[in-house]
Structure 1
Amino acid sequence: MTDTGTPLPVADLPGTIRRYLRAHNAHDAQAATAELTPEATVTDEGRTHRGVPAVAEWLTRAASAYTYTTTLVGAAYDGPDRYTVVQHLEGDFPGGTVDLRFRFTLDQDRIASLVIAP
């Protein structure tokens, strides 16, 4: 499932991560960004988006680029305040399928950093 960390039941992920993923998958930028620290960074496709306004813009843009479904494959605890979630995506993007690792770093129960990569 993951190449790092200790496997973790999804139900044991911190609530902020579960809420973020639910909002992200529902294309709800407002609910997703509510789970971030004010200066949070999100890195996706090699680009880093800094701060809530930039992340909200990225979420809105990304939601309209392709149609896809997600399946949560698994989760892992990587260390204090660090978690990895793997989601399988299928859709009309180039390649059609991919497993993405969402690497979260938390700060006081909010997402301070998220790196999304295969």
Structure 2
Amino acid sequence: MNTEPTPVITRFIEAMNAQDGAAFVTLFTPAAIVHDEGHTHQGHPEIQAWIEKAWSSYSPKVELRDVLTAGPSTVFAGEVSGSFDGSPIVLKHHLTIADDLITELQIAP
């Protein structure tokens, strides 16, 4: 088990906070799946549309609070702040990573 952020997690947070869609989507495999707010988004076009909508709606910023990596699975807790009710909130980001790319991401409280 590793409690330090992997390079993928570091790049994820950097791209998220910079609102860099091109950098963000390249962190995912072409067929990656994202589960967030009861919706599923699959593939680069859907993931890019999802994150751009989140940025325009909420202006989220993520600050890493905790991380645990075991094999291909990583869970990190991020304090997410932005223009939404209840901000800031700590959300768990469950990632499956293969070959330094995210294959699946699930975000939940």
Is the TM value for this pair above 0.5? yes
Match of 2:79 in 1: 88
Q: TM-score w.r.t. structure 1 length?
A: 0.83
Q: Structure 1's 85 and 39: CA in aligned 2 closer, same or farther, altered over 3 A?
A: same
Question: Shift of residue 7 of structure 1?
Answer: 5.9
Q: Where does the alignment leave 5 or more consecutive residues of structure 2 unmatched?
A: none
Give the % identical residues.
31
Q: Which residue of 1 aligns with 2:95?
A: 104
Q: Which runs of 5+ in 1 are unaligned?
A: 1-5
Change in 2 beyond 3 A, CA 1:38/1:69: closer
State the one-letter code of the partner of 2:3: L
Segments of 4+ in structure 1 off by > 4 A?
Answer: none
Give the whole-Å Cα distance in 2 for the aligned partners of 1:24 and 1:68.
8
Contact 1:82 1:103 in 2 (8 A): yes
1:9 corresponds to 2:4: yes
**2:55 aligns to what?**
63
Q: Count residues in correspondence.
A: 109
1:76 to partner: Cα distance: 0.6
- 3-state SS of 2:15 partner: helix
